[in-house]
Amino acid sequence: MQEMTKMEKIVGLCKRRGFVYQGSEIYGGLAGTWDYGPLGVALKNNIKKLWWERFVLGREDVYGLDAAIIMNPAAWVASGHAQGFADPAVQCKKCGAYWRTDHVIASQLVEEGNYLCPLGSCRTALGTEEELNKQSKSFNMMFTTSVGAGEESAIKTYLRPETAGGIFVNYKNVLDSMHPKLPFGIAQIGKAFRNEIAPRDFLFRAREFEQMEIEYFINPKTWETTFEEWREEMHGWIKAIGLPVSMVHELEVPKEDLAHYSRRTIDFEFDYPFGRSELYGMAYRTDFDLASHAQASGVDLTYFDEATGERFLPHVIEPSLGVDRTALALLYASYTEDSMNEDSRVFLKLSPRLAPVTVAVFPLLRNKTELVARAREIYALLRQAQVGAVVFDDNGNVGKRYRRQDEIGTPWCVTVDFDTLGEKPEARDTVTLRDRDTGKQERVNINELTDILESKLV
């Protein structure tokens, strides 16, 4: 299977099965925006739930936060975003499209020494590398907005380009209210917005996205040790969500490419169908943020260590993870084509803890009242037991239902048949439990069904 063909199939599956839709589709869409359908939002919520359980509820040293998206603009001036959150961009004079200059050069679309417009239907010569760098203009990627009732009194501010800003301005609030001891972290899941010059590659580079970030505050003397600890935590997370280790690679970001706040950054890159690119990042931000906010606000943000009598500005290790890129990586890595019972099938080999649907319950025949009634009872039983997301499905024949559930990644299907009702005395009150990956079916007692599913979810 060619890689881009596989990507096209994934995009089609996402639309057809209710994972992801183009934003504002009935009006022709809006580039760089995507709407998550019923199954897509379930996948995203499962990713976020697992992350929160692992890094907040599962630890004593990390505190949760949900900061406002719109902040006082002075915060973005202090952080350096208002002045420096920009990319060099070049415009094609023929089609009018804007492109990041570094992306044009990286594309290697060159003809007679001139780089070409990346738009497939254009391919106009944009100039040599030297000419591109001269033509480039700085493009600030933050969305601006106004706060206030009137134009004259309104304050210009921004939609946050990252969730970290809200964490840093609330550092002192958490310190004063929770009294944590170093080292400790503040975690947040939330939306961020970037006016990307050229959004592309489905969910990978969008103008509105969701982040899961931790700012972990430390004594600067321990930064190297803590950096390695969080490096291992990142690999543990990657393994926990079921991404193949062979598809994830570390990239030590060169000093010349580091963000203005970073002394060291590692990118965790994934083998996407369009090439290897960033999935997650982890940065040593030193005390840049707290020092900048302390200076700009005039508020003392130092930490007093009672054990040593030292007062200092903590340094920060930042593990930053994108929800949307995680979802895209999982969809790509889990997409599988095989054959079963001499029929071809497509299935998503998602971890049961992340799959949008955990178990689907079927009556063998939808026109047999007694089968439907018993299936409904089992459906209600599993929902009450809270073994994950449970759905009832009686649309089409059983074979089609299995294929449909396979395609959306449902790990198990439960079928109620005439044996369940007692046609065979030895099979009364049993159901067929089918495994997604292997297609294996086994008879299990209804009274044991909840325990069996719970044991498989561990």
pLDDT tens by residue, 187-221: 999 999 998 877 888 999 999 999 999 999 999 99
How much is the average pLDDT of 52-81? 94
Structure tokens at 15: 């639309």
Terminal C-alpha separation, the chain: 34
Tens digit of each residue's pLDDT (9 = 90 or more) over 141-200: 888 888 987 777 788 889 999 999 999 999 999 999 999 999 999 999 999 999 887 788
- CA dist 329 and 49 (Å) reads 17
Give tens-digit pLDDT for 313-357.
999 999 999 999 999 999 999 999 998 877 889 999 999 999 999
- Supply the pLDDT for residue 92: 86
- Give yes or no for a contact between 291 and 78, defined as CB atoms under 8 angstroms apart: no
pLDDT digits 0-9 by tens, 408-430? 999 999 999 999 998 888 878 99
- Rounded Cα–Cα distance for residues 156 and 169 (Å): 19
Peptide bond into 314 cis (omega under 30): no
- Pairing label, strands 98-100, 86-91: antiparallel
The pLDDT tens digits of the residues spanning 100-123 come to 788 788 888 888 888 898 887 888
Q: Which CATH number fits domain 3-74+165-332: 3.30.70.580, 3.40.50.150, 3.30.930.10, 3.40.50.300?
A: 3.30.930.10
Distances in whole angstroms, Cα of residue 124 to Cα of each of 88, 92, 119, 370: 19, 7, 9, 67
Average pLDDT over residues 214-234: 97
What are the extents of the domains in the chain? Answer: 3-74+165-332, 86-140, 357-457
- 355-380 pLDDT per residue, tens: 999 999 999 999 999 999 999 999 99
pLDDT value of position 85: 67
Pairing mode, if any, of strands 184-193 and 155-158?
Answer: unpaired
The fold adopted by the segment(s) 357-457 is Rossmann fold (3.40.50)
Q: Which tokens in the block code for residue 42?
A: 């379930």
